[in-house]
Amino acid sequence: MRIRWERWLLLTVLLLVLCGGSTGSFSSAMAADVTPLKIGSPAPKFELPGVDGNIYRLEDFDDSPILVVIFTCNHCPTAQAYEGRIKQLHADYKDKGVAVVAISPNDPQAVRLDELGYSDLGDSLEEMKIRAQDAGFEFPYLYDGDTQRVSRAFGVLATPHVFIFDRQRKLRYAGRIDDNDIGPPKSHDARRAIEELLAGKPVSVPETRVFGCSTKWSDKRESARQALARWDQEPVELQTISPEKLRTRLTEQSDKYRLVNVWATWCVPCIEELDDLVTMHRMYRKRKFELITVSADRPSARDAARKVLQEKHCSATNYILDTDEQDALFDAVDPQWKGAVPYTLLIAPSGEVVHRVHGEFDPRELKRVIVEHLGRTYASR
């Protein structure tokens, strides 16, 4: 007999509850079983690792009359837009009895590569450590991505999502930080709630809508896997081009940043770097960005070069010159290039080279450079 989807989903949720909410090494958290914490509810207990190597518990903040828990993450453009304001909240209220704690709710394996288009970092604990250092976080930044039990207990809908508790650790405000992530806000909702609690007043607006990136629950892992499998099936072509046309292609006005990488089949580091280049291509190509690879092989090695690109699933724009003259390749790509491969450059829409890497690149540093030019928030669309 055919079991309806709704019944199957209910049975699955009940099984997870009976099994303590875990399947294998991770908790199978789903958006369907998430309900935001209600005003007046007690603060859920937590015991989570922080980016500083310490374990943090709810009772660690008992000395603070007010506790502000902000669920945020590395990759989300909205979350990144609010990083400065979260830092300012901490700075403005740390000496007034207000503790600010940030928690990342996302399962890093549930985040698709094309959801990382505004970031150089994913949502793993190791990458959170990097972000905290780069951004200068002075408040605890905790990781809940392995089990997501705390995030489910709070009912996190999006990043960022704010929960403010009074001295008795009863929830008095839940919602957004303010009403505008990329422009001057008109309604400073979280600040107003903090000020009212500090003054011993009830919170006048205890709930607001949240906006941002949806929480990446672990049931989205399959979507991330399917995306990778689908991208791996994209056609891979290697176009033959003249030095003159290549030079024009790289220097002409464009609406995109061009990441150009020169590689060769006989260069082992070059081939190894293709994996990272494919990842960047999948991360940023929905934005004003394109990846162009240029094979330094001779035209007679075109089939071998194309085979490597196909094995690496490099569905970017791939070129090989129609000449054996190496100087023609150097001049076409970049007159400043001395000839060694690999060679990588980032070209602005104006045609100006804004970043060069002679030799092997650092993937994290290159992604950081790309994102700094593309922009980290929706204001840069």
Tokens 């909702």 belong to which residue? 189
Whether 13 is covered by a domain: the verdict is no
pLDDT of the residue at 33: 78
Is 107:216 a contact under the CB 8 Å cutoff? yes
Whether 4 is covered by a domain: the verdict is no
What's CA 95's distance to the chain center, in Å? 32
φ/ψ of residue 109, rounded to 5? -80, -5
Considering the domain architecture, whether residues 32 and 134 belong to the same structural domain is answered as: yes
Tokens of 325: 């003259």
Considering the domain architecture, whether residues 293 and 156 belong to the same structural domain is answered as: no
Whether 3 is covered by a domain: the verdict is no
Last residue of a domain, one of 159, 191, 220: 220
**Beta 141-143 vs 98-104: how paired, if at all?**
parallel
Considering the domain architecture, whether residues 146 and 93 belong to the same structural domain is answered as: yes
**Beta 317-321 vs 343-347: how paired, if at all?**
unpaired
Residue 318's H or E segment, with its range, is: strand 317-321
pTM of the model: 0.90
Identify any residues that bridge with 321 across adjacent strands, giving them in sequence order: 241
Considering the domain architecture, whether residues 173 and 283 belong to the same structural domain is answered as: no
Cα gap 34→158, rounded to integer Å? 11
Give me the half-sphere count of Cα atoms (radius 13 Å) on the Cβ side of residue 94: 11
**Beta 55-57 vs 47-49: how paired, if at all?**
antiparallel
- What residues make up the domain containing 309? 232-380
pLDDT in tens, the chain (381 residues): 333 333 433 333 333 333 333 333 334 556 667 899 999 999 999 999 999 999 999 999 999 999 999 999 999 999 999 999 999 999 999 999 999 999 999 999 999 999 999 999 999 999 999 999 999 999 999 999 999 999 999 999 999 999 999 999 999 999 999 999 999 999 999 999 999 999 999 999 999 999 999 999 999 999 999 999 999 999 999 999 999 999 999 999 999 999 999 999 999 999 999 999 999 999 999 999 999 999 999 999 999 999 999 999 999 999 999 999 999 999 999 999 988 999 999 999 999 999 999 999 999 999 999 999 999 999 977
pLDDT of the residue at 30: 60
Considering the domain architecture, whether residues 314 and 180 belong to the same structural domain is answered as: no
Full strand arrangement of the beta sheet holding 98-104 = 141-143, 98-104, 66-71, 161-165, 171-175
pLDDT of the residue at 149: 97
φ/ψ of residue 90, rounded to 5? -60, -45
Tokens of 364: 């994290």
Considering the domain architecture, whether residues 200 and 290 belong to the same structural domain is answered as: no
pLDDT of the residue at 18: 35
Considering the domain architecture, whether residues 256 and 376 belong to the same structural domain is answered as: yes
- Which residue pairs from 226-231 have beta carbons closer than 8 angstroms and sit at least 24 positions apart in sequence? 227/112, 227/113, 227/114, 228/113, 231/113, 231/282, 231/313, 231/315
Closest to 256 measured CA to CA, from 349, 381, 351: 349
Considering the domain architecture, whether residues 131 and 73 belong to the same structural domain is answered as: yes
- Determine the angle formed by the axes of helices 268-284 and 302-311, rounding to 10 degrees: 50
Considering the domain architecture, whether residues 328 and 241 belong to the same structural domain is answered as: yes
Q: Please, what is the Cα angle at 109 between 103 and 114, to 5 degrees?
A: 100
Name the amino acid, one letter, at 311: E
Considering the domain architecture, whether residues 197 and 307 belong to the same structural domain is answered as: no
| Cα→Cα distances 239→85, 90, 227, 372, Å | 48, 54, 26, 30
CATH number at residue 78: 3.40.30.10
- Count of structural domains, the chain: 2
Considering the domain architecture, whether residues 87 and 193 belong to the same structural domain is answered as: yes
Considering the domain architecture, whether residues 33 and 113 belong to the same structural domain is answered as: yes
| Cα→Cα distances 39→34, 69, 170, 175, 203, Å | 16, 14, 8, 11, 11
